Amino acid sequence: MAHIMVVEDSRTQRHLIAHWLKAQSFTVTAVDNGLDALKQVRKELPDIIILDIVMPHLNGYEVCRFLKTNRRTQGIYVILCSTQDTERDRAQGLEQGADAYLCKPFKPQVLLHTIQNLLATGTSI
């Protein structure tokens, strides 16, 4: 089963998403900020990173851009998550290299569907 990293500064959201994913038999690593995410990615290369945008130290856009411009990590699928759901926000996420963009709050089924599509086809649609 795929390895998924959850990067979310809200403890409640981080634990909830991790719980949903573990219930689907995914291997899950969870961290609370962008800097720790990059440190952890060096140790273990996940298949997918679910990445909040507004976080301390490094925001989700910065983390995504780093991952997608680094040869070692550019193949990791990135799902950006935010409470901001404007076309501008989505466009900025895609410009940074994100593979999908979800507006919070989202239902577990929406997240699972996005993950399954990325793993099967490389696209979120």
CATH 3.40.50.2300 is held by the domain 3-121: yes
Query: How confident is the model over 78-102, as a mean pLDDT?
Result: 88
pTM above 0.85, yes or no: yes
DSSP H helices, 1-125, are 11-23, 34-43, 60-69, 87-95, 108-121
- Each domain of the chain, given as residue ranges in start order, spans 3-121
Say if residue 94's pLDDT is above 90. Answer: no
Say if residue 108's pLDDT is above 60. Answer: yes
Predicted confidence at residue 123, as pLDDT, reads: 63
Mean pLDDT of the chain: 93
- In this predicted model, what pLDDT tens digit does every residue of 34-46 receive, in sequence order? 999 999 999 999 9
**Beta carbons of 28 and 21 less than 8 angstroms apart:** yes
Bridge partners, residue 82, by sequence: 103
- Here the tokens at position 97 are 């290299």
Q: Tell me if residue 4 falls in helix, strand or coil.
A: strand
User: What H or E segment, with its residue span, contains residue 3?
Assistant: strand 3-7
Confidence of residue 61 (pLDDT cuts 50, 70, 90): very high
- In this predicted model, what pLDDT tens digit does every residue of 2-15 receive, in sequence order? 999 999 999 999 99
**Beta carbons of 53 and 60 less than 8 angstroms apart:** yes
Bridge partners, residue 5, by sequence: 29, 49
Query: How confident is the model over 79-87, as a mean pLDDT?
Result: 86
Say if residue 122's pLDDT is above 70. Answer: no
